[in-house]
Structure formats: structure tokens, C-alpha cells
């Protein structure tokens, strides 16, 4: 029980799931928006906008970073984050490819 079986799926399926998981919380979607709209992607600005504690935002940022969707540099006492477009687009493409493929095969059974 509760022994996770994620590893028994294909790498592509796991990658897509990991990407989706990174986006599966509204706070992380909001963070991505802020990162793109501000020229200076300072952590503090994100904290100011979101209805969450600083430590919680930091945790969400870490998850986005671990998933490879953003990258961060420490800049003096601050941290500068930005979107990792390369990895991001790779996933978007994979998603679209998968769904395009699914759509062409589908034959509406119900």
C-alpha cells in the first residue's frame, strides 16, 4: 500500500506528469505570471503579490526550480528568478504532440 508505482510508467509519461504537477497549484501559475511580467523577478515582489507567507512562496519556487521550469540566481541579499523557456517549451511541445496524436486516433465511442 502506498508504494508509489510512478516508475513503472514510460519516461515520457513521467516527464509530462512532472511538468503538469509543477503547474498543479494556482500559486505556482501565479508565480509564473509574475516572473514574466516583472523585469526584476525578485522573490520579494512575488511574496508581496501572493496571499501566502514568505516561506510558502519559497517552497513553491523551489518546486518550480526542481521541475526545471524556472532558474534562480542569488544577487546580493536577494534572489532573482526567471522562467526557463527552453525546458518550458519542450514540455509544451510534448503536450501538444501527445494531444494532437490522441485526437487524430480518436473515434468517439461514447
Residues 4-33 that bind DNA (CB under 7 A): 4-6, 21, 24-25, 27
CA atoms 20, 6, 82, 29: torsion sign: positive
Q: Give the three cell numbers for residue 48.
A: 508581496
Pairing of strands 70-75, 78-83: antiparallel
Q: Does residue number 48 form part of the binding site for a copy of itself (CB under 8 A)?
A: no
Q: Does residue number 61 form part of the binding site for DNA (CB under 7 A)?
A: yes
Alpha-carbon gap, residue 89 to 96, rounded angstroms = 10
Q: Give the three cell numbers for residue 37.
A: 511580467
* Kind and range of the H or E run holding 14: helix 11-22
Contact partner, 62, from a copy of itself, DNA, none, Cβ < 5-8 Å per class: DNA
Q: Does residue number 108 form part of the binding site for a copy of itself (CB under 8 A)?
A: yes
Q: Minimum CB separation from DNA for residue 52, in Å?
A: 4
- Residues forming contacts to DNA in the complex (CB under 7 A) are 1-6, 21, 24-25, 27, 42-44, 47, 51-56, 58-63, 72, 74, 76-79
Amino acid at each position: 500500500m502506498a508504494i508509489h508505482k510512478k516508475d513503472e510508467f514510460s519516461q515520457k509519461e513521467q516527464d509530462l506528469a512532472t511538468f503538469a504537477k509543477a503547474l498543479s497549484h494556482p500559486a505556482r501559475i501565479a508565480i509564473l505570471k509574475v516572473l514574466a511580467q516583472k523585469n526584476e523577478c525578485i522573490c520579494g515582489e512575488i511574496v508581496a503579490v501572493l496571499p501566502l507567507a514568505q516561506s510558502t512562496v519559497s517552497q513553491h519556487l523551489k518546486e518550480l526550480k526542481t521541475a526545471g521550469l524556472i532558474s534562480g540566481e542569488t544577487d546580493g541579499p536577494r534572489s532573482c528568478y526567471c522562467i526557463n523557456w527552453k525546458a518550458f517549451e519542450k514540455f509544451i511541445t510534448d503536450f501538444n504532440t501527445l494531444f494532437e496524436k490522441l485526437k487524430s486516433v480518436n473515434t468517439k465511442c461514447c
